[in-house]
Amino acid sequence: MFGLGFMEILFIAIVAIVFLGPEKLPKAMVDIAKFIKGAKNAISDAKKSISEEVNIEDLKREALAYKAKLDEATEELQGFKNLNPASDVKRELGSFKDNFASLTQLEEPVATPVEPKQKEIAFKKKTVTETTVTEVKEEIKKEKESDK
């Protein structure tokens, strides 16, 4: 106990008998035992209250649950890495050869007249304003609605 050997405990007992005397020694031993027992109880209560407040086990379980969710998400993202968009398009639209064949069996193309070459090219600078942005958004919405 407390790293004391037999000889040290015997020396302390002899000193206690000499200073306290045989009448007060039993009462002092009981008081010391009560003090040690009280200290042990106080320490165990402190450990118990700390473990209840911190709930280390609950935190560990929660962390493991988050780790499992993260692993699932990582595996799902690995699945997205192996996607081939060409196969999806092929499934939805049919094979490319069939589409090409159907496009080439159309009527003869009509030639459009070519404009004469201009010597100077002038570009108009268009400024982007809030109204032009909203107009573009509306055009995109109309195109999506017409595709449906």
- Residue 85 pLDDT > 70, yes or no? no
CA distance 89 to 147: 17
In this prediction, residue 40 carries a pLDDT of: 94
Domain spans in the chain, listed from the N-terminal domain onward: 7-54, 55-105
In this prediction, residue 57 carries a pLDDT of: 76
In this prediction, residue 123 carries a pLDDT of: 62
In this prediction, residue 43 carries a pLDDT of: 94
What is the per-residue pLDDT across 3-43, written as a single tens digit (0 to 9) for each? Answer: 778 888 888 888 888 888 888 888 888 898 899 999 999 99
- 123 — phi, psi (to 5°)? -105, 140
pTM of the prediction? 0.33
CA distance 131 to 83: 39
